[in-house]
């Protein structure tokens, strides 16, 4: 296993680092990454090892301007570097960047079976909102989570709005 102590966290990444981050995300997905969408992410944080290889990434995927809420995602850590706290640090850095942008609430969805990902978010204070499918009868259950960044935000109302086109399941 590679060691943690020489990991560096960078935002924004250089174009080469962004490309490497895209390849890393793509390697964790069943379907191909929508590259142009990733390249439009407002915030990307990468983790570099001692050789400056990109070994982790997380991002703000998009901002919902009217709700002043932002989606955190694009989490990927190189398989040989997992369970060393890299996703924890990446999450904390994206949360800090969201605070700097004045975002009121961060939200995320993860595949229901992806316990590592939901536990990583909960470790940084994210709360479970609910399990949803896109349409009734669909089996692809996603868990939605949120992290209020402002004491004034009505998290429930924001999350109800964000998930309104989805179907809640148990």
Query: Tokens representing 126?
Result: 């994210």
Residue 97 CA from chain centroid, whole number: 13
Instruction: Indicate which single residue of 8, 23, 34, 83 sits in contact with ligand COA (rule: CB under 6 A).
Output: 83
Residues facing 107 on adjacent strands: 71, 146
Q: Which is nearer to ligand COA, 74 or 105 (CB)?
A: 74
If one asks whether residue 125 binds ligand COA (CB under 6 A), the answer comes out as no
If one asks whether residue 76 binds ligand COA (CB under 6 A), the answer comes out as yes
Instruction: Indicate which single residue of 12, 42, 85, 125 sits in contact with ligand COA (rule: CB under 6 A).
Output: 85
Q: Which stretch binds ligand COA (CB under 6 A): 38-46, 71-79, 131-139, 142-150?
A: 71-79
- Report the C-alpha gap between 41 and 169 in whole angstroms: 29
If one asks whether residue 154 binds ligand COA (CB under 6 A), the answer comes out as no
Angle separating helix axes 86-100 and 115-123, nearest 10 degrees: 50
């Amino acid at each position: 296993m590679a060691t943690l102590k020489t990991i560096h966290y960078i935002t924004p990444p250089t174009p080469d680092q962004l490309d490497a981050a895209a390849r890393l995300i793509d390697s964790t997905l069943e379907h191909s990454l929508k590259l142009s969408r990733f390249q439009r992410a407002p915030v990307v944080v990468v983790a570099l090892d001692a050789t400056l290889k990109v070994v982790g990434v997380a991002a703000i995927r998009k901002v919902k301007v009217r709700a002043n809420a932002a989606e955190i995602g694009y989490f990927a850590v190189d398989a040989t570097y997992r369970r060393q706290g890299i996703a924890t640090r990446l999450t904390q850095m994206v949360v800090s960047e969201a605070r700097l942008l004045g975002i009121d609430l961060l939200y995320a969805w993860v595949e229901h079976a992806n316990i590592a990902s939901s536990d990583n978010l909960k470790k940084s204070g994210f709360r479970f909102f609910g399990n949803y499918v896109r349409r009734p009868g669909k089996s692809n259950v996603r868990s939605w989570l949120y992290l209020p960044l402002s004491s004034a935000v009505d998290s429930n109302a924001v999350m109800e709005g964000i998930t309104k086109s989805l179907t809640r399941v148990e």
